[in-house]
């Protein structure tokens, strides 16, 4: 296993993925450092990548201020606009401090998921939980709102399955 594959496999979002999925995810991955104040991306730009935050802190916000800003830190995953047409960023994201990320090529992963629906389903389960957590965090009053980076992740809950989550 390569160094990047080891880092990706240890990230909370991807914990427990198969070696096949890890190979697809890590194929075009690269490490990057984002300086404090630097934008990772801006609202409206074309989206083809997503980010695993290793260390540091970023803020995501919409230009119009329709949603409150959210902060994300080490252990978080950032950027889902590459998954959905028209493939443009819906927020702008800026580093609040020096931030280390793994940049993943979303377009290639999307093509692999389209060819392998089991892979696609595994990714979408993880994305759906992440998106739901962020939406729930936005519903809370600002003083009580937990940082997004402390949210539950299916990948970090041993034995979690959607079948159990929806059976009552």
In CATH terms, 3-166 corresponds, of 3.40.50.2300, 3.10.290.10, 2.60.120.10, 1.20.140.10, to 2.60.120.10
Mean pLDDT for the chain overall: 84
With a cut of 60, say whether residue 168 has pLDDT above it.
Answer: no
Q: What is the pLDDT of residues 4-56, one digit of tens each?
A: 999 999 999 999 999 999 999 999 999 999 999 999 999 999 999 999 999 99
Q: What is the pLDDT of residues 140-151, one digit of tens each?
A: 665 554 554 433
With a cut of 50, say whether residue 166 has pLDDT above it.
Answer: no
β-bridge partners, 100: 33, 55
| Alpha carbons 98 and 58: distance in angstroms, whole number | 9
- Residue 87: pLDDT band with limits 50, 70, 90: very high
Cβ(87)–Cβ(46) under 8 Å?
yes
Cβ(47)–Cβ(81) under 8 Å?
yes
pTM of the model: 0.81
- Residue 137: pLDDT band with limits 50, 70, 90: confident
Q: Is the dihedral angle over the CA atoms 26, 29, 30, 35 positive or is it negative?
A: negative
- Position of tokens 């800003």? 69
């Amino acid at each position: 296993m390569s160094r990047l594959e080891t880092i990706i496999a240890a990230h909370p979002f991807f914990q427990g993925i198969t070696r096949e999925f890890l190979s697809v995810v890590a194929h075009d991955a690269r490490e990057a450092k984002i300086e404090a104040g630097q934008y990772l991306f801006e609202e409206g730009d074309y989206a083809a990548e997503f980010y695993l935050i290793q260390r540091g802190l970023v803020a995501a916000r919409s230009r119009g201020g329709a949603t409150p800003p959210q902060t994300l830190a080490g252990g978080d995953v950032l950027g889902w606009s590459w998954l959905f047409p028209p493939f443009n960023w819906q927020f702008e994201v800026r580093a609040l401090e020096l931030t280390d990320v793994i940049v993943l090529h979303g377009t290639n992963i999307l093509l692999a998921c389209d060819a392998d629906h089991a892979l696609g389903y595994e990714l979408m389960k993880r994305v759906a939980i992440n998106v739901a957590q962020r939406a729930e965090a936005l519903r809370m009053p600002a003083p009580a709102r937990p940082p997004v980076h402390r949210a539950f992740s299916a990948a970090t809950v041993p034995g979690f399955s959607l079948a159990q989550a929806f059976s009552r």
